[in-house]
Amino acid sequence: MPDHQPRLPLRQDTLRGIATITLGYAVISAADASVKWALPEVGVAVAMIWRGVFGMIAIALLSGGRGLMPQRVPLLATRSALHCVVTVAFYLAWFNGFPLADSYAVNAAAPLIMTLLAIPMLGERVGWRRMASTAVGFVGVLIMLQPGGELWRWEAAMILAGAATLAVTRIWTRVLAASDTPQAIAFWLLFAHIPIGLLLLPVFPPVGPLLPGWDIALALGFLGLANGCAHFLFARAFAIAPVSALAPYEYTTILWGVVLGLAIWGHVPAWSTFAGAALVVAAGLYNLHRERVRRAQGADMTERR
């Protein structure tokens, strides 16, 4: 059936989109550090519920309660539920002691996957140079996940699957931006964490009391509020800039992960993690360069006509 939902114009403002998403990744990294610290005291499902409740509050405050009604309900609901799968993958890994920076290094594959998925899902063109650099990036992932290495753990495979799922949700953010407001996209994503968290309580039962101590409660409250702010920024960024231009800035989380992991847990990633991540980041940055060249050539052709 044809889609009769009203569509919002997708404005192209790449520089503002980059600034917005970079800030979003800084905020989400701080939120991830807080939940990783709190997870041993509450468990995966309880952390998801706190994230959902306080995240919704943050979005409602940021938006003044305006623009929260969804337009493309099935796609928005599917994206929100799928993002909860990503949350479970990362929370379960962190609950089992997987380091923050290492999880971000593995997740660095998400922008590469986004570059590939943008072809069938958004109709974006990816030339042979970007395809080759993407392949090099995946070699970097293999270096990080080498057998017998520090990241040769089942949690790493779970995070890699989460990264692929995350890439799909990022693409759908761009699709939804044609009909739904950034605040609606973020609000309902965080709302989904509440019922799904409740459903997962038998699978991931609370570790401690449902009402934790003030320090854990403060960390979880910050988790939710920061997530609300970050996802609002993400949705806004993908509404005004192309996926291929924003994807490489996911790599800034690796820097934040190293800094926060060292400051809070004293963890320093292994050399293989740094080496593999360097290849992945280099591939992503080259993809960004090729995207800029392609757009410049397209603009030049338009001016000549």
pLDDT for residue 7: 46
pLDDT for residue 25: 93
Q: Are 252 and 26 in contact (CB under 8 A)?
A: yes
- 208 or 175, higher pLDDT: 175
Judged against a pLDDT cut of 70, whether residue 297 lies above it is answered with: no
pLDDT for residue 203: 95
CA atoms of 174 and 122, how far apart (whole Å): 9
pLDDT for residue 9: 45
Mean of the pLDDT values across residues 111-116?
Answer: 79
- 54 or 124, higher pLDDT: 54
Report the 3 state secondary structure along the chain.
Answer: CCCCCCCCCCCCCHHHHHHHHHHHHHHHHHHHHHHHHHHHHHCHHHHHHHHHHHHHHHHHHHHCCCCCCCCCHHHHHHHHHHHHHHHHHHHHHHHCCCCHHHHHHHHCHHHHHHHHHHHHHHCCCCCHHHHHHHHHHHHHHHHHCCCCCCCCCHHHHHHHHHHHHHHHHHHHHHHHCCCCCHHHHHHHHHHHHHHHHHHCCCCCCCCCCCCCCHHHHHHHHHHHHHHHHHHHHHHHHHHHCCHHHHHHHHHHHHHHHHHHHHHHHCCCCCHHHHHHHHHHHHHHHHHHHHHHHHHHHHHHHHHHC
Query: How would residue 4 be classed by pLDDT, with cut points 50, 70 and 90?
Result: very low
pLDDT tens digits for range 202-213: 999 998 776 788
Is this prediction's pTM over 0.75? yes
pLDDT tens digits for range 122-155: 677 777 777 788 788 888 888 887 766 777 788 9
pLDDT tens digits for range 236-267: 887 788 766 777 787 888 889 999 999 999 99
Judged against a pLDDT cut of 60, whether residue 93 lies above it is answered with: yes
Mean of the pLDDT values across residues 164-172?
Answer: 87
pLDDT for residue 299: 54
